[in-house]
Amino acid sequence: MDWRHQLKISYLAIALNMASRSSYFLGAILFGLVNSLGFAGACLAQSDPLRDPMSLPQPQSPENPNPTSSDELSSPSLTPQSPTFRQEDLPPRTYDPPVYQERDSKVFRTYQLDIGDGISIIVQDFPEFSFAGVIGSDGNIFVPILGKVPVIGLTIEEVETKIAYELGRLFLKEEPEVIASLSTPRPIQLTLLGEIGRPGFYTLPSGTSIVSILLSAGGATPKADLRSIIVRRPLLDGTILEEKVDLYTPLLKGQKVPEVLLQGGDTVIVSKMEFGQEQGYDRGLIARTNLVQPTITVRVLSPNAAASGISLRNITVPTNSTFLDVVASLPSTDPIRVNFDEVALLRFDPEKGRVVSQELNPIGAVQGDLAQNVPLQDQDVIVISRTLLGDILATFRTITQPVRDVFGFSNFILNVPDQIERLGEGGGGRGRFGF
């Protein structure tokens, strides 16, 4: 029996008992009232069982096997969050972001004052503080009345701020307006390294371009990579700034030369063309410009029949010259034009770390064989006569210090006549080693 019916029966029994003790009319009224209240409570319990503290669990129907918790029923629905971008701020679907362009370093482009810079200071409304002078060896400038002020390593704007602050703090009620300017920049003292004609220390006027600096040092060598010229600048705190300058791309595309504000203490390093990085680099174009060494030195070793010895000649030819260019520069009676089948090229190969040799056939070069008409490099050696080449190779075996670079190779070639002569006196004999 359902509990609601039991409750109704209990109420009915109470009502009948009261009716028997009092009047029949009062019992009937009470019966009707109890019956109405019981019916209303049953309806409320059926519509919302959570409001009835005596409500019992109801069996789940097969259509809804998972009961819904009371928290889920009573909790309000979550409000959706606002979008990250407003609709009007969203970029169109066809929008392509611009390609990132490497920007010049602002710090690297800032001129820092140093010893020897001449500056001019104007203090508005207070001419007694104005002056013009040169930064002394102690890194200070002398401001009238104010005295010495250290300014080394500062920019012009920082000098204005510093002097205005000191005047306002010591002599004036408020900071005055200060205008500073660089009247006479100091000369540039640079160090040039790498693939440059004449590395070393240079003192040049302020404002000298990096191209002019390369030209003043004899230009880049044929092995230089003009896409990578490194400029290093030390700061007072020990920090080293570094920036790469590309001179090849502007030359190739007809663009403006990059502007680099060089300062005293900078080091300019012309990078060497690394192995495998030559793709897209036109050496022929570079050889025709004024950015590289205008000439190279090629040495010719040949037997000297008149003196019973060896003849060593230094021949200067334009950069990017070939084997035939050297032959054309020699007299018609030169042995190199006679011994067509006994010519070899010696060159120090930095990638292999040793001296390499190659046979050259002048007749083949004249007939258009590009493999025989090779482009020459600085410090290449052309050897006439296989016998002489054998003596040179034999001499290589006798030296105690191995040839490690092109400078060692060049020094060895300069001493070849004496080396071969000593080798012959020691019983080595010429011609022991063929090509």
Q: Which residue has the higher pLDDT, 156 or 429?
A: 156
pLDDT number for residue 163: 95
d(CA 153, CA 107): 12
In this predicted structure, the answer to whether residue 61 has a pLDDT above a threshold of 60 is no
In this predicted structure, the answer to whether residue 166 has a pLDDT above a threshold of 90 is yes
Percent of the chain predicted with pLDDT > 70: 63
Which two three-digit tokens encode residue 251? 């030359």
pLDDT number for residue 133: 93
Q: Are 218 and 197 in contact (CB under 8 A)?
A: yes
Q: Give SS3 for 172.
A: coil
d(CA 322, CA 352): 22
Q: Which tens digit of pLDDT belongs to each residue from 268-300?
A: 999 998 877 888 888 878 878 888 888 888 988
Is residue 51 very low, low, confident or very high in pLDDT (cuts 50, 70, 90)? Answer: very low
pLDDT number for residue 293: 80
Q: Which tens digit of pLDDT belongs to each residue from 4-16?
A: 666 566 666 665 6
The number of residues in the chain equals 435
Q: Which residue has the higher pLDDT, 246 or 236?
A: 246
d(CA 419, CA 400): 12
Q: Are strands 240-245 and 267-272 parallel, antiparallel or unpaired?
A: unpaired
Cβ density class 184-202: b for 16+ within 10 Å, e for less: ebbebebebebbbbebeeb
> Mean of the pLDDT values across residues 404-427?
66
pLDDT number for residue 295: 82
Neighbours of 322 (CB within 10 A): 16
How would DSSP label each residue in 47-71?
H-GGG-TTPPPPPPPTT--SPPPHH
d(CA 274, CA 362): 31
pLDDT number for residue 57: 47
Which two three-digit tokens encode residue 345? 């090229």
Percent of the chain predicted with pLDDT > 90: 25
Sign of CA dihedral 163, 169, 172, 176: positive
Burial classification of residue 364, based on how many CB atoms lie within 10 Å of its CB (0-12 exposed, 13-18 middle, 19 or more buried): middle
Q: Which tens digit of pLDDT belongs to each residue from 136-155?
A: 999 999 999 999 999 998 99
Q: 419 φ, ψ to 5°?
A: -65, -45
pLDDT number for residue 312: 81
Sequence-separated (6 or more) residues with CB below 8 Å from residue 267: 190, 191, 192, 193, 231, 232, 233
Helices 416-425, 386-398: axis angle to 10 degrees equals: 80
Q: 249 φ, ψ to 5°?
A: -60, -45
pLDDT number for residue 32: 61
Q: Which residue has the higher pLDDT, 100 or 294?
A: 294
Identify the weakest region by mean pLDDT among 313-317, 382-386, 415-419.
415-419
> Mean of the pLDDT values across residues 45-57?
47
Burial classification of residue 286, based on how many CB atoms lie within 10 Å of its CB (0-12 exposed, 13-18 middle, 19 or more buried): buried
Q: Taking all residues of the chain, what is their mean pLDDT, rounded to a whole number?
A: 76
Which two three-digit tokens encode residue 206? 């302020």
Q: Are 60 and 67 in contact (CB under 8 A)?
A: yes
Q: Which tens digit of pLDDT belongs to each residue from 384-404?
A: 876 676 767 666 665 656 666
> Mean of the pLDDT values across residues 221-241?
88
Is residue 74 very low, low, confident or very high in pLDDT (cuts 50, 70, 90)? Answer: very low
